Amino acid sequence: MGGTLMLLIQHIKIYWNKSHRGTPYATDRARMPQAYPLPANFFDEHPRGYPIHLVYLEQQQDGLRERRNDIQTLKKYNPLRVGAIEAITQEEDYYEIRYRYDGHRGANPARTRYDVHTNTNIPLNERAMILQPGECGRICYNGRYTDYDTGEWYYNLDIINLIHLGDQPKSLRPFTKKPPDKTYQQMARLH
């Protein structure tokens, strides 16, 4: 494997409940940025894994409230799993990014495909994109969840920004300086 493999990841997650589904709250969510600058210490030493920038927001009556904005280090697994996506390192110095539905990460409605061999619907597992050195991608998916304690529904919108840094200089604005080169969506109508 070449020495230029470095994947930068930013995971933005927005939460809301039934009382914040329609207008004007949906308008607020549609207007929010889909990428943020990275924290100043993002490129500090991460000897045991990949740094990931986590931005979690919660919809409130008076707007979106930031609940988390920090860095976490993910272990160097292949494939690397973030939410409902997998990043698979390839020998040719590119990343294959896959959307892989399961009920815990993708919620309702289920994302499935029909398997002609078993005559059943199976969870969706498909290639979302290939990232070559220097390419940036964005994956968006949503879901409806049920709180285990209260039985109340709540909703998530996940935005995952990725860039295959390759030999590019490190920047704290890789996701905000230009639109993504590639996009993938699994956006369902949430009731």
Q: How many CA within 13 A on the CB side of residue 46?
A: 18
The residue written with tokens 């004007």 in the block is: 24
State the pLDDT at residue 5.
57
Spatial neighbors of 176 by CB under 8 A, at least 6 apart, are 33, 35, 36, 37
Whether this prediction's pTM lies above 0.85 is answered by yes
State the pLDDT at residue 184.
95
Count Cβ atoms within 10 A of the Cβ of residue 145 and give its class: 0-12 exposed, 13-18 middle, 19 or more buried. Answer: middle
Q: What does the alpha-carbon distance between residue 98 and residue 102 come to, in Å, rounded to a whole number?
A: 13
State the pLDDT at residue 2.
42
What DSSP string runs through 72-95?
EEEE--SSEEETTEEEEE-TTS-E
State the pLDDT at residue 3.
45
pLDDT tens for the chain, 191 residues long, are: 344 457 889 999 999 998 898 888 888 888 899 999 999 988 886 656 778 999 999 998 888 899 999 998 888 777 888 988 888 877 678 899 999 887 665 577 777 777 788 888 877 888 999 999 999 999 999 988 888 899 888 899 999 999 988 777 788 999 999 999 999 998 887 76
Q: What angle do CA 179, 183, 188 make, to 5 degrees?
A: 125
The residue extents of the domains of the chain are 7-77+132-186
Are the C-beta atoms of residues 153 and 145 closer than 8 Å to each other? Answer: yes
State the pLDDT at residue 177.
92
